[in-house]
Amino acid sequence: MEEGPYKYIRDGNGKVSRVIRIGTRKSQLARIQTDSVADTLKELYPDIHLEIVGMTTTGDKILDTALSKIGEKSLFTKELENALERNEVDLVVHSLKDLPTSLPPGFTIGAVLKRENPHDAVVLHPKHAGKSLDTLPESSAIGTSSLRRAAQLKKRFPHLVFKDIRGNLNTRLKKLDEKEDFAAIILAAAGLRRMGWENRISQILEPEDCMYAVGQGALAVEVRARDVDILEMVSVLHDSDTVLRCIAERAFLRRLEGGCSVPVAVHTEVKDSQLYLTGAVYSLDGSDSLKETMQTSVAAAAAAAAAADDKSSEEVDECVQRVGVTATKLSGEAQDRAERLGVDLANLLLSKGAKEILTVARQLNDAR
């Protein structure tokens, strides 16, 4: 039954309940990520009916061009957001790192789930089993289409050559294994783990070798900002530490105006009620870089504001979004501090010349 924008279902006993439709990209990893969110929701709300709707996005179609060259931030999210807007789906599961730091009006991130390992991983060609980036032969080709990874690794491993590789996880692993083009490829550890391919990880890159992308390893649930019922339903999925870390990271990136097409990297940690944020910007070849660390207290986050419960029935005001994230059950003060931390760190780097580094990186990349 369709009634207004929503879809309902009647069970054998005549009980009517709303069907919650979840939009997802069609790739195997996207499906696994969406299924994990659906399973968690089913456990928490046994009576709900979930329907998963697969969609192909622009980013899935354009496979012959480096992402940074396409220059579109919402490459993997636009079609999914269109479906949300048209009420064809009620929520969408994304990798948080695919979501731009400013969402279109009317949308919000209603949940940021507990982060998987956010680091990058090295996957070696079978013939190089047992080696590491350090011990690979001179001029070995490493596949990555991320400017962020290439910039950091070029500096750290000058004996290696970095080349673009596109496609989803399955495609990239196939390209690595079945051809002799690459000695290794760099992928997010989180994706490999979610796919059950942990055994392919030869090396996890520590922050001193390669810091990660903003939001990497975290899943986000995007909803319509005015859909209070759905927002309330998914809010229980929020992981407070991950939310604070990702708000700081996204605020840092937004202040720098970075996207896919510039090398920006971060590292965050919550320890003893302190949130630590390390952020860096790089030239394309990694020769020029700026890196700083700042911290702030997020003690209030632990005591989730009881007042939030009283407010939850209010219509969600879009101004309580912080870099696209709505988390009413989490201390607003802690979220504000996390956002401030990101902005302050970005301002510190900008005062030291980050803008110039990123402008040159963008121009060089556009000219490639």
pLDDT at 112: 98
- What confidence tier does 56 reach under pLDDT thresholds 50, 70, 90? confident
pLDDT at 78: 78
pLDDT at 91: 96
More confident position, 225 or 313: 225
Does the pLDDT of residue 317 top 70, yes or no?
A: no
- Tokens of residue 81, six digits: 């957001």
Listed residue (303, 300, 241, 228) closest to 269, CA to CA = 241
Among the ranges given (77-86, 167-176, 209-218), the one the predictor scored with the smallest mean pLDDT: 77-86
Mean pLDDT of 68-87: 70
pLDDT at 366: 84
| Catalytic entry in 98, 209, 227, 241 | 98
Please write the tens of the pLDDT for every residue from 277-311. Answer: 999 999 999 999 999 999 999 986 555 544 444 44
Does the pLDDT of residue 149 top 50, yes or no?
A: yes
**What does the alpha-carbon distance between residue 312 and residue 306 come to, in Å, rounded to a whole number?**
11
Give the orientation angle of helix 147-156 with respect to helix 354-367, to 10 degrees.
110
- What confidence tier does 75 reach under pLDDT thresholds 50, 70, 90? low
Sign, CA dihedral 214-245-232-307, equals negative
The distance between the two most distant Cα atoms of the chain, rounded to a whole number of Å, is 70
Has 285 been annotated as catalytic? no
More confident position, 118 or 313: 118
pLDDT at 300: 66
- What confidence tier does 257 reach under pLDDT thresholds 50, 70, 90? confident
**Which three-class secondary structure string do you get for the chain?**
CEECCEEEEECCCCCEEEEEEEEEECCHHHHHHHHHHHHHHHHHCCCCEEEEEEECCHHHHCCCCCHHHHCCCCCCCHHHHHHHHCCCCCEEEEEHHHCCCCCCCCEEEEEECCCCCCCEEEEECHHHCCCCCCCCCCCCEEECCCHHHHHHHHHHCCCCEEECCCCCHHHHHHHHHHCCCCCEEEEEHHHHHHCCCHHHCCEECCCCCCCECCCCCCEEEEEECCCHHHHHHHHCCCCHHHHHHHHHHHHHHHHHCCCCCCCEEEEEEEECCEEEEEEEEECCCCCCEEEEEEEEECHHHHCCCCHHHHHCCCCCCHHHCECCECCCCCCHHHHHHHHHHHHHHHHHHHHCCHHHHHHHHHHHHHHC
pLDDT at 127: 94
pLDDT at 367: 82
Mean pLDDT of 85-99: 93
Does the pLDDT of residue 313 top 50, yes or no?
A: no
